[in-house]
């Protein structure tokens, strides 16, 4: 795996980056991974997958992240949409999407968050109404990564009136072709000048009946399964690993006490993350455990930034030819985002607290 990543990145003139799973969009690299069987690894062979364990997939994505490889093109399809299709998709949906995902050729964005909804996902206002044998979708999604270059979006929408006693009821998920009439994608430019976030609006978009993923009204339960995948993977603590590697390569021995603390934390967070991956492989939904991994992981990533700033003597500079200065600038500018995406740390701690009270 390491030989492959090193060779492919050198051959394509690719640099390592922090947050490569969010910002590193390279279809050619994704297709090269797909050709080796390293996308959709846990999918059944009939859908182009390697039908291997979640632990084997974990090894591959861990190496890609640590190397800062450009995996954003296929990332959301491989991490969330593929497993959702395997659990809830119809045979026709599975046959259409899964082989293309496994080849590294079909890209998805995720439509959960909405303008003015904050972290209250149950308050979404995007609606899908049944019209004869089809659906009509209207609303807006925000922070939708790579919607401007993705083929499809997996969108959560309300399909029944709000039940004040159960706000999570009446939600459903849809597979939306982003080239459909009525879909508009507007860019959201980040602090570093990059563009991977978007706002996507749906103006009375016509959807076929088979755009629905799973059963009507089961969207909340399905999203909770997907969020467990989103919050617990190694991307939640390895986004700044290229920066730490660069520091060690440059300095040889940064502050050894602080480095030792960081590596001990890394080992424990990784153990928790791997345990969650195994639970997900068994079909479980470890929401609390994944919340802990995400919370601790984002704190760990921030400590790496602090170590580099304190011990390197290098100033962050996005335009610098000095790799350490560039990686540090990437990590600093994206630090606020890490504790927000996938659920804010405060919301995650609320999930953990409720579980502690209930138990």
Query: Over 90: is that where the pLDDT of 252 sits?
Result: no
The mean pLDDT value for 143-158 works out to 97
| Tokens standing for residue 192 | 């570093």
Buried b (16+ CB within 10 A) or exposed e, 10-23: eeeebebbbbbbbb
Active centre residues (catalytic): 230
Instruction: Report d(CA 298, CA 269) in Å as an integer.
Output: 10
* Beta pairing partners, 202: 139, 183
Q: What's 79's DSSP letter?
A: I
Provide the 3-class DSSP secondary structure of residue 288. helix
Find the helix packing angle between 54-66 and 256-281, rounded to 10°.
Answer: 150
Q: Domain 2-106 carries which CATH code?
A: 1.10.540.10
CATH number of 110-218: 2.40.110.10
Instruction: Give the angle 18-22-27 at the CA atoms, nearest 5°.
Output: 105
Evaluate the CA torsion angle 329, 13, 65, 259 in order and state its sign.
Answer: negative
Average pLDDT estimate for 172-193:
94
Rounded average pLDDT over 36-54: 95
271: enclosing H helix or E strand:
helix 256-281
Please tell me which residue, 280 or 47, carries the higher pLDDT value. Answer: 47
Residue spans of alpha helices (H) in 106-177: none
Give residue 39's pLDDT: 97
pLDDT, tens digit, 9 for 90 and up, residues 260-293: 899 999 999 999 999 988 888 888 878 888 888 8
Residue 301, pLDDT above cutoff 90: yes
Q: Which CATH superfamily is domain 233-358 in?
A: Butyryl-CoA Dehydrogenase, subunit A, domain 3 (1.20.140.10)
Residue 11 has pLDDT above 80, yes or no: yes
Q: What local confidence, expressed as pLDDT, does residue 67 receive? A: 96
Q: What is the pLDDT of residue 250?
A: 83
| Secondary structure element (H or E) that encloses residue 274, with its range | helix 256-281
Better-scored residue on pLDDT, 106 or 298:
106
The better pLDDT of the pair 230, 271 is held by 271
Whether the Cβ atoms of residue 125 and residue 73 lie closer than 8 Å to each other: no
Q: What angle do CA 73, 330, 323 make, to 5 degrees?
A: 100
Bridge partners of 200, per DSSP, are 141, 185
- Domain-by-domain residue ranges, the chain? 2-106, 110-218, 233-358
Q: What is the pLDDT of residue 227?
A: 81
Q: What is the pTM of this model?
A: 0.91
pLDDT classification of 145: cutoffs 50, 70, 90: very high
Residue 303 has pLDDT above 80, yes or no: yes
How many Å apart are CA 306 and CA 304, to the nearest integer?
5
The chain-wide mean pLDDT, for the chain, equals 91
């Amino acid at each position: 795996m390491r030989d492959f990543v090193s060779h492919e990145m050198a051959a394509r003139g690719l640099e390592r980056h922090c947050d490569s799973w969010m910002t590193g969009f390279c279809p050619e690299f994704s297709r090269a991974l797909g050709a080796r069987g390293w996308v959709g690894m846990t999918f059944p062979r009939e859908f182009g997958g390697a039908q291997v364990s979640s632990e084997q997939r974990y090894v591959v994505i861990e190496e890609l992240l640590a190397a800062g490889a450009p995996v954003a093109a296929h990332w959301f399809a491989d991490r969330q949409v593929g497993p959702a299709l395997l659990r809830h998709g119809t045979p026709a949906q599975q046959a259409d999407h899964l082989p293309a995902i496994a080849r590294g050729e079909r890209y998805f964005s995720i439509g959960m968050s909405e303008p003015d909804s904050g972290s209250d996902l149950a308050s979404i206002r995007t609606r899908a109404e049944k019209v004869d044998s089809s659906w009509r979708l209207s609303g807006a999604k925000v922070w939708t990564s790579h919607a401007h270059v993705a083929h499809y979006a997996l969108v959560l929408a309300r399909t029944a009136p709000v039940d004040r006693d159960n706000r999570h009821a009446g939600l459903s998920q849809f597979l939306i072709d982003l080239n459909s009439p009525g879909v508009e994608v507007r860019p959201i430019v980040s602090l570093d000048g990059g563009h991977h976030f978007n706002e996507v609006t749906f103006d009375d978009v016509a959807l076929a009946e088979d755009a629905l993923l799973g059963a009507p009204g089961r969207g909340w339960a399905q999203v909770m399964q997907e969020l467990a995948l989103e919050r617990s993977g190694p991307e939640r603590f390895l986004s700044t690993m290229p920066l730490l590697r660069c520091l060690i390569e440059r300095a040889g021995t940064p502050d050894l006490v602080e480095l030792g603390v960081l590596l001990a934390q890394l080992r424990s967070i990784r153990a928790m993350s791997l345990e969650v991956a195994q639970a997900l492989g068994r079909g479980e939904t470890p929401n609390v455990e994944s919340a802990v991994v995400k919370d601790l992981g984002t704190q760990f990533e921030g400590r790496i930034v602090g170590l580099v700033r304190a011990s390197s003597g290098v100033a962050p500079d996005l335009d610098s030819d000095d790799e350490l200065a560039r990686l540090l600038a990437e990590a600093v500018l994206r630090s606020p985002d890490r504790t927000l995406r996938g659920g804010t740390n405060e919301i995650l701690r609320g999930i953990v607290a409720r579980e502690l009270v209930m138990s």
